[in-house]
Structure 1
Amino acid sequence: MKMQNVIRNQKGQTIVEAIVGFGLITMVGLTFVGGMVSLRNTTKNTLLLSSTDKQVNDIAENIKSGVENYQINYDSNRSVSELLNPETLPMAWDNGKVALRKDCGTCAGTYGYVIQPYPEFRGLYKVTLRVTHKSWIEKGEAFKDYHFVVSAK
């Protein structure tokens, strides 16, 4: 009879069980928070890549649709790197925003482009588009260059 009384009176948890339970809950919580931070960073990077691709496509389509309306660079003495110095790019951009660099102090990126004729192919022009973004500098990339060919109508 005494043994049954002892078994019936053992209610609750020991301190070891409570510590193990608290440790497990803490690990699950930290894993969840770490996953959320990782997801937020991935979403931020994906949004930036998507915004960059959209910006590049918009610029390319504008130039393609009316290359004859743009000033063509016939000066072959100046290099593209000199013309597209990241410090002096004229346009600013951010997610959903495009403006002149002087008009957008909060924009995270800048861009500029050079249109040059192909001497051996009449009516074809090579466009070099240089795009920068503040977050790329942290990763060791100052800018990205995009090259495409357009034809005059």
Structure 2
Amino acid sequence: MPTSTASARYEGLGKPGKGSISTASGVLHDQPYGFGTRFEGKPGTNPEELIAAAHAACFTMATSFALAKAGHADGTLDTTAKVTLEADGDGFKVTRSALALKANVPGITESDLARIADEAKANCPISRLLNCEVTLERTLES
């Protein structure tokens, strides 16, 4: 099975420190992160944003493959994931990943979409990785 690699570097310690994140694929190269990007809305990314991107992508792909397996040949899936970080004692904890799916799949019923999407939510690898509440809101568009 494939493996994926990423790296992070942090220069300086604590709040004034500044970090960068890179991926082996080059999609991210020295992308800045730190206290400001995580808690103050400054330009750059943060771990929760990267988890949200991974979860949205994984769930959407799992749903796409499940829809194809169920006999659907065309459609568009748009997913957002909102990852919540909350204080936990002296630290922080990811407490929730809220998925919101907008699906346009010709010929599918709302109940079939619900069944397929709920199964994809429960079984996509990133959902299974997360140790938090995972919710799903579904909208069927035509």
TM over 0.5: no
- The structure number with the bigger radius of gyration is 1
The structure with more helix, counted as a fraction of residues = 1
Higher strand proportion (structure 1 or 2): 2
Normalised by the length of structure 2, the TM-score is 0.32
Give the TM-score, by structure 1 length: 0.30
